[in-house]
Amino acid sequence: MACRVCHNPTIEQFLDLGAQPHCDSLLLPKDLAHPEPYYPLQVCFCHACTAVQINYTVPKETMFEEYLYVSGTTQTLRTHFHDSTERLVSRLGLKANDLVVDIGSNDGTWLACYEKHGLRVLGVDGARNLAEMANARGVETWARFFNAEVARDIIAKKGRAQLVTAAGVFFHLEELHSVTEGIAELIREGGVFCVQAISLAGMLRYCQFDQVYHEHLTYWTVHSLDRLFAQYDLEIFNADMLPIHGGSMELLVAPRGTQAIDPSVEKMRVEERDLGCTQIETYRRFATRVGEIETELMGILRDYQAQGKKVYAFGAPAKGATLLNTFHITTELVQCAVEVNPLKVGKYIPGARIPIVDEKTQDVPDAYLILAWNFLKEFLPKKRDYIMAGGKFIVPIPTPVVIDKDNYDQYA
Ligand SMILES: [Zn+2]
């Protein structure tokens, strides 16, 4: 496959997570009688532009038309979007009637935050179920996959945007070049694009290999995004790190020459270089560390199994499917996954076929395997009583640890 960013014809594979099913295609009880489709999950590095990417694309219609990840479900995300809104409105001087377009707008959680500022908002999301939820709450949302054609339709109906946002979607883009072209067109008259995406630097630092799944086609750094944006006469003028999702970057992007470049951009480039993000050797070491996590985690889980103890997964996020399926963890080691998202309860994690049950009605196990480790700070205080009573949290990433009553304070 050619590089998704620069079209360099050869990219080098450094991590093979095997064949896996699509992580969000949860199974219904009736699906268990049949095999499910598996697709290769292999991660590659482009020596020409340094972009990290997977080399197989599950069609976006398979992955996103009916989508189960709902932004409004977690308090951490609601707070995050509220804070992002206040920061952007103030930093960019947005005023009443300015147009904000959110790409991959999910259930409209972020756009709803602009209401009190009197801004016009439009969401675009290819997931029909989410677009319906957003429209029902009064956030106008088009159930389409954003691309250059959608951008032209927006300009025709609403005019150009002062702000275009993409939170947790910029790594999803099958039509990467058409989307970027559309963004450039939408903000051509002095607008700004704000992209929030998982930071590859953070993934490397904390060995977050489970952020790799079929929905994440590209893993971004300022370096690789520079190469993409330059093709559309855009440039990054501000770079921040946010704590969400285990470390995300927030980049502000504008048509070249329209904004002063903040020193934060060069600072992030230097940090990436120091971390080795532009070197293949760094990625080969990352692959070795994944093997070490497997050995340690499987040791812990097999100990629990040998002692006849119960382990439940805490949460059933997409990244959990990657971890379970990479290490071939099934119900022998983890009997079920407890969830609060009603769209997931009653279904099964693909591949591993672990049942997802309602957290409120399920009994408590001897230990929880924390799959949504990015929300650990939110879960831990809620489960304080459980841990003080002898319960355990097994946290797999960056290095497997067991949190119990003795070391609770260290992690809370
Ligand atoms: Zn490339």
Neighbours of ion ligand 1 (CB under 5 A): 3, 5-6, 8, 46, 48-49, 51
217 Cα to the center of ligand 1, angstroms: 13
Lowest mean pLDDT among 65-69, 272-276, 279-283, 351-355: 65-69
Ligand 1: distance of its center to the CA of 50 in Å?
A: 6
Ligand 1: centre distance to CA 342 (Å): 40
Asked if pLDDT for residue 67 goes beyond 90, the answer is no
CA gap 181, 411 in Å, rounded: 43
Who contacts 2 (Cβ-Cβ below 8 Å, separation ≥6)? 8, 9, 10, 11
| 62-281 against 297-411: fold identical | yes
- The H or E element spanning position 84 is helix 75-92
Q: How far apart are CA 4 and CA 173, in angstroms?
A: 10
For residues 76-94, average pLDDT: 94
- Distance between Cα 11 and ligand 1 center (Å): 8
Q: What angle do CA 295, 298, 303 make, to 5 degrees?
A: 125
Quote the CA–CA distance of 266 and 394 in Å, as a whole number.
38
For the segment 193-218, the average pLDDT, to the nearest whole number, is 94
User: Domain-by-domain residue ranges, the chain?
Assistant: 62-281, 297-411
Alpha-carbon separation of residue 65 from 25, 61, 131, 395 (angstroms): 11, 5, 10, 32
Q: What would the two tokens of residue 98 be?
A: 């300015």
CA of 224 to the centre of ligand 1 (A): 8
Report d(CA 20, CA 174) in Å as an integer.
19
Tell me: pLDDT of 220 over 80. Answer: yes
pTM of the model: 0.90
Q: How far is the CA of 2 from the centre of ligand 1 (A)?
A: 8
Half-sphere exposure of 37 (CA within 13 A, CB side): 9
Q: What is the pLDDT of residue 246?
A: 65
Residue type, 26: L
CATH classification for the domain delimited by 62-281, as one of 3.40.630.30, 3.40.50.170, 3.30.565.10, 3.40.50.150? 3.40.50.150
Listed residue (55, 108, 69, 61) closest to 85, CA to CA: 108
- When the candidates are 3.90.79.10, 3.40.50.720, 3.40.50.150, 3.90.1150.10, the CATH number that belongs to 297-411 is 3.40.50.720
At 346, the pLDDT band (50, 70, 90 cuts) reads very high
Task: Quote the tokens at residue 350.
Answer: 């693909």
Ligand 1 centroid vs 7 CA: distance in angstroms? 6
**Which pLDDT does position 229 carry in this prediction?**
98
Residue 120 CB partners (closer than 8 Å, separation 6+)? 97, 98, 99, 100, 158
CA dihedral angle for residue 126, residue 132, residue 133, residue 135, rounded to 10 degrees: 100
Q: Cα of 46 to ligand 1 centre, how many Å?
A: 5
Those residues with Cβ within 8 angstroms of residue 82's Cβ, 6 or more apart along the chain or in another chain: 113
The tokens for 73 are: 């479900």
Chain center to CA of 15:
19
Q: Residue 65 has what pLDDT?
A: 73
303 contacts 233 by C-beta, under 8 angstroms: no
Which position has the higher pLDDT, 88 or 244? 88
The pLDDT value given to residue 377: 86
Tens digit of each residue's pLDDT (9 = 90 or more) over 349-407? 999 999 999 999 999 999 999 999 988 888 899 999 999 999 999 999 999 999 999 99
Phi, psi of 242, rounded to the nearest 5 degrees? -120, 150
CA of 43 to the centre of ligand 1 (A): 13
Tell me how far the alpha carbon of residue 17 lies from the centroid of ligand 1, in angstroms.
Answer: 21
Provide the pLDDT for residue 244.
Answer: 77
Confidence at residue 398, expressed as pLDDT on a 0 to 100 scale = 94
Exposure string (b/e) for 212-236, b if CB count within 10 Å is 16 or more? bbbbbbbbbbbbbbbbbbeebebbb
